[in-house]
Amino acid sequence: MAAQGIEVSSHLAAGDMKQPFKLYHNIFSICSLQVRFCVSLGNLIGSSFPNLEFEEHEIDIYHSGQLDEQFLCHVNPKGQVPALVNESVLGTPLTDSMDITFYLAELYPSLCPTAHTPTIVKMVKSLHSISFLALSFTKPHHREYIYNLEEPLKAILAKPDLSAEYRRALEWKLQFHKSTQSPQVTQESTDTAIAESKIVLEEVDMILSKWGTEGNWLFGATPTSLDAHVIVFIARLRETGNENIIPGSVSLYADTVMAMPEWKKLMNGKPTSYSVYNTSF
Ligand SMILES: N[C@@H](CCC(=O)N[C@@H](CS)C(=O)NCC(=O)O)C(=O)O
């Protein structure tokens, strides 16, 4: 699969794109925004697949939409967004933003030019090794919210009439939540995430000064997958009070991109964080 690196695919033909891709997302999910911005920037330059179409399906992860039977059993057993579905082309859904990003680079090769592929892959992986949960859920009542996500799972599990498949999926999700989600929301994890973000941003700054002088994007005149991931990440850092760790030139680069119609269309006047949008959350 493409997640191992970017292999521009010879097995895909333009005629294969008979069905639109379904992109499951949430407007306050950083990983969802990153892949949606990849699609938007890909469309800016164009694809070799003329019939490429993405249908967006919003999952209300703040009201347990990710726990619906159809989504959990047939789209993403982890109960998370983003997820990319296209039965005729992909077979099983892609359920991780990095896998989706690297797959999108097959559909939109300009998103990952050969000369910069190793850097883009390395940087996207570095960015995604940071706990976005630890960065984003920092107030005590937000951390409490994450711990309490077990409750809606347990409430559904208490129902007697669930299918065996759905019950298994919910039990798996509960364990996943306990073992990988809850442990991320501690002050120590937040401090680590901020320190790691600083290092990644310094690397972004180096890319910008080496390649970005001849255009608005990290590698110059054409946007890549890395721009999509970095810009959304910067928006989230700003919203979480971490503006101070963003190098000045990276901040200016972000301002330029955030003034573009593609960004404004993606965000539709909203922040990346649910807690900034809904102050009573
Ligand atoms: N590693 C995954 C992480 C996805 C993820 O954490 N998604 C969050 C939103 S940003 C989500 O769906 N949370 C709901 C939940 O875990 O129940 C990726 O990169 O796609």
Dump pLDDT digits (tens) for 167-202.
999 999 999 999 999 999 999 999 999 999 999 999
Average pLDDT, the chain: 94
Q: Are residues 197 and 172 in the same domain?
A: no
Q: Are residues 128 and 159 in the same domain?
A: no
**Contact yes or no for 141/162 (Cβ under 8 A):** no
pTM of the model: 0.95
In a domain, 4, yes or no: no
Residue from 60, 81, 153, 232 whose mutation best tests the ligand 1 pocket (most atoms within 8 A of CB): 81
pLDDT of 75 strictly over 50:
yes
In a domain, 139, yes or no: no
Specify the pLDDT at position 252.
Answer: 98
Helices (H), 177-247: 187-211, 225-239
In a domain, 173, yes or no: yes
In a domain, 2, yes or no: no
Specify the pLDDT at position 4.
Answer: 40
Tokens of 9: 């695919």
Q: b/e string for 77-100 if b means 16 or more Cβ within 10 A?
A: bbbbbbbbbbeebeeebbbbbbbb
Burial of 63 (0-12, 13-18, 19+ CB in 10 A): exposed
Specify the pLDDT at position 14.
Answer: 61
Distance from residue 20's CA to the centre of ligand 1 (Å): 23
Owning domain of residue 151: 144-184
Q: Are residues 152 and 191 in the same domain?
A: no
Q: Are residues 202 and 154 in the same domain?
A: no
Q: Are residues 129 and 254 in the same domain?
A: yes
Q: Are residues 173 and 193 in the same domain?
A: no
**Contact yes or no for 106/7 (Cβ under 8 A):** yes
Q: Are residues 150 and 249 in the same domain?
A: no
Q: What share of the chain is helix, strand, coil (3-state, %, to 5)?
A: 65, 5, 30
pLDDT band at 11 (very low <50, low <70, confident <90, very high): low
Tokens of 245: 């760790």
Residue from 80, 81, 104, 232 whose mutation best tests the ligand 1 pocket (most atoms within 8 A of CB): 80
Residues 124, 56: Cα–Cα separation, whole Å: 23
Please give the tally of structural domains in the chain.
Answer: 2
Specify the pLDDT at position 50.
Answer: 82
In a domain, 69, yes or no: yes
Specify the pLDDT at position 192.
Answer: 98
Q: Are residues 120 and 236 in the same domain?
A: yes
Q: Are residues 30 and 167 in the same domain?
A: no
Protein residue with its CA nearest to atom 5 in ligand 1: 80
**Contact yes or no for 2/105 (Cβ under 8 A):** yes
Q: Are residues 114 and 239 in the same domain?
A: yes
In a domain, 8, yes or no: no
pLDDT digits (tens, 9 = 90+) for 79-119: 999 999 999 899 999 999 999 999 999 999 999 999 999 99
Q: Are residues 74 and 169 in the same domain?
A: no
In a domain, 129, yes or no: yes
In a domain, 61, yes or no: yes
pLDDT of 212 strictly over 70:
yes
Residue 81: CB within 6 Å of ligand 1?
A: yes
Q: Are residues 71 and 173 in the same domain?
A: no
